[in-house]
Amino acid sequence: MHSGRRQDDSERYRAILETAARLICERGYEGTSMQEIAAACRMTKAGLYHHVQNKEQLLFDIMSYGMGAFEQQVLEQVREIPDPVERLRECMRLNIHLVTGGCSKEVIIILHEHATLTGEARAFIDGRKKRYVRFLEDSFSEAVRMGRIRPVQPTVAAFSFLGMVLWIYKWFQPDGRLSAEQVSHEMVELLFTGLVSPPVAAVPAPGAPVLSLVPSAAGGGES
């Protein structure tokens, strides 16, 4: 019976986190009161404090839930892929899936309220974020070492990857004209294949206009 109650409490708490995440997402952390969170959960404020110590604890728990979902649904799924390029491509696909799907609220809060947490709680979340950056840098470095990609600066490559993926929450509309699958497919190709025309287009066709013949030369000429 005790464990049944613990189970109930944990499910209830999960529902509280879900509701709190929705409110904080809409109004910001500063703009959301514990009173409003309690009301949205159909609880009294005292009832809410039975589950959580204070508002900062709630924010930390939302971020931890989001980081946990990310680690489970993205990082753990790709970590063991032997080829670094396939690892990175699959990682981008799964991360886009997470950002465009059910965990978008938690992701937005992790990104937008990054400076709200303090002390150990902040250091703990920051450490988990840094592990992801390191994983991306290491994968890009490995791909360069293996000759799988041209030499790139791994930190810039890692943060370009992250910028593309995490910016999605600013513009993607789940019911918009682009599907999550389209965004994911296009974005993986953009970073990993780039914008240069496919190799076949680089072979001069007789009589073809000059501009279409030198896509990569024109793109890379001045750098």
- Judged by beta carbon, residue 13 or residue 192, the one nearer a second copy is 192
173 near a second copy (CB under 8 A):
no
Residue nearer to a second copy on the CB measure, 85 or 121: 85
Q: Contacts with a second copy in 84-113 (CB under 8 A)?
A: 85-86, 89, 112
Does 180 participate in binding a second copy (rule CB under 8 A)?
Answer: no
Binding-site member from 81, 121, 149, 180 for a second copy (CB under 8 A): 149
Q: Among 4, 46, 150, 206, indicate the residue that binds a second copy (CB under 8 A).
A: 150
Does 190 bind a second copy (CB under 8 A)? Our answer is yes
Q: Among residues 68, 127, 194, 204, which is the contact residue for a second copy, using CB under 8 A?
A: 194
| Unique residue bearing structure tokens 């150990």 | 120
CA distance 100 to 125: 21
Strand, coil or helix: what is 208? Answer: coil
Q: Between residues 61 and 137, which has the closer beta carbon with respect to a second copy? A: 137
CB 118 within 8 A of CB 191: no
- At 132, list the tokens: 């992801």
**Inter-residue contact 25 to 108 (CB < 8 Å):** yes
Contact 180, 96 (CB under 8 A): yes
- Least Å from the CB of residue 49 to a second copy: 23
Single residue of 80, 115, 119, 206 touching a second copy by CB under 8 A: 115
Answer for which of 4, 46, 120, 163 binds a second copy (CB under 8 A) is: 163
Indicate whether 33 belongs to the interface with a second copy (CB under 8 A).
no
Q: What is the DSSP letter of 148?
A: S
Burial of 26-62, coded b for 16+ CB within 10 Å and e otherwise, reads eeebeebeeebbbeebebeeeebeebbeebbebbbbb
Q: How far is CA 134 from the centre of its chain?
A: 15
C-alpha–C-alpha distance, residues 176 and 199, integer Å: 33
What is the binding site for a second copy (CB under 8 A)? 28, 30-31, 83, 85-86, 89, 112, 114-115, 143, 146-150, 152-153, 155-157, 159-160, 162-168, 170-171, 178, 182-183, 185-199, 201-202, 209, 211-212, 215-216, 218-220, 222-223
